[in-house]
Amino acid sequence: MTINELKQRNIIIYECISGSNAYGLATPESDVDIKGVFILPEEDFYGLNYVDQVSNETNDIVYYELRRFVELLSKSNPNILELLYSPEDTIQIKHPLMDLLRSQNFLSKQCKDSFGGYAMTQVRKAKGLNKKILNPVEKKRKGVLDFCYVSHEQGSIPILEYLDMHGMLQEKCGLAKIPHMHEIYGLYYDDPTFQGVVRNDNANDVALSSIPKEKELITVMSFNKSGYSKHCKEYKEYWDWVEKRNDNRYANTLTHGKNYDAKNMMHTIRLLKMCEEIGLEGKLNVRRSDRDYLLKVKAGEFDYDELLEEAEKKVGQIEEAYENSVLSLLPDIIKLNETLVEIRRRYYQNS
């Protein structure tokens, strides 16, 4: 099912402009995000054509089937709660039956984990971006030979340096595993049966050869296999990130010179503040009164460590707020279920 089909079949019962426009944080560069709720016709709901979510390719337009919407609401999903309690001026479509949900308060102490946990996930993302910016990975991936070392004098040197020093070719080398010594090999040289240290440039491990008894051991070599595996993982993560990153957002990150995703950190602080307000006030303030401060965060006016300290401080305040909160431990699942059934029953009766 597509978004056009939802509109053509006239089954959207709730639609809001979400994201920065709902928060009151929109700037001329901000995208317009749309979220909403639809109800499948009876034959699709009871039959094999149940669809729980419909979105566009960029995921900035998302509609949830009513059952999926209520299911996420029961888990205090931040995006769903923000959608339910969207400011009136962001609502573009609202079936009267949606007031059965909007008129109730489904906030609970569960929000501490859903809002706070999501915010700290964003902090970890910001730390990961900070690491990628400060420690870029070279375009050429290192190979197995870059993680092989041989004993030399009182220490070790890279095998490539050793081979060059002695005018030797890696293709003419033979390796034999030394028993009871982890990733340690005996290195031999110049036999037509030898496989080389690696069989080719794309190898992911060293090559072992059958060593003739008369061959003399040249030296001992170690292969830092765990180091090689870590490099491969980081290399893939970094270049996948480069391929998928939002170049405009990345350019802004570099422009403000603080080496963190400022938009990411703005939403992190926003989530933590909303989480605290839920615990203290028992309500969700989607439209932000702290717009000026949050936009300063987005503009990169604060140091990265300063914002991390602010986030950690806010986590402590959230713990205290929820300890003293009069909110229920969990949303009223019975009431949620009753409302879900009532909305669907009345909708089908009137269709």
Of 294, 266, 325, nearest to 119 (Cα)? 266
Give the integer Cα–Cα distance in Å for 148 and 197: 9
Cβ(174)–Cβ(209) below 8 Å: yes
SS3 readout for 52-106: CEEECCCCCEEEEEHHHHHHHHHCCCHHHHHHHCCCHHHEEEECHHHHHHHCCCC
| Domain at 1-105+331-351, CATH from 3.40.50, 3.20.20, 3.30.460, 3.30.530 | 3.30.460
Report pLDDT digits (tens) over 13-37: 999 999 999 999 998 888 899 999 9
- Which pLDDT does position 247 carry in this prediction? 56
pLDDT of residue 117: 83
Q: Token digits for 349? A: 């009766």
**Residue ranges of the chain whose pLDDT lies below 70:** 124-137, 241-242, 244-260
pLDDT in tens, 209-236: 999 999 999 999 999 999 999 999 988 8
Tell me the backbone φ, ψ of residue 49, rounded to 5 degrees. Answer: -100, 25
Q: Taking CA 256 as the corner, what is the angle to CA 255 and CA 258, rounded to the nearest 5 degrees?
A: 120
Dihedral over Cα of 286, 287, 290, 295: its sign: positive
Structural tokens at position 108 = 């609970």
pLDDT at 153: 85
Residue type for position 146: D
Surface-to-core class of residue 313, CB atoms within 10 Å of its CB (0-12 exposed, 13-18 middle, 19+ buried): exposed
Task: Return d(Cα 85, Cα 83) in angstroms, integer.
Answer: 6
C-alpha span between 316 and 346 (Å, rounded): 45
pLDDT (0 to 100) of residue 64:
98
Mark out the alpha helices in the chain (DSSP H runs): 3-8, 20-23, 42-46, 66-74, 78-84, 99-102, 111-134, 159-165, 225-244, 247-256, 262-281, 291-298, 304-323, 333-350
Q: How long is the chain?
A: 351
Domain ranges of the chain: 1-105+331-351, 107-136+246-328, 144-225
Q: At a CB cut-off of 8 Å and minimum separation 6, what does 344 contact?
A: 39, 45, 66, 67
Q: Looking at residue 260, what is its pLDDT? A: 67
Q: pTM of the entire structure? A: 0.66
> For position 138, what pLDDT does the model report?
80
Element (H, E) at 15: strand 12-18
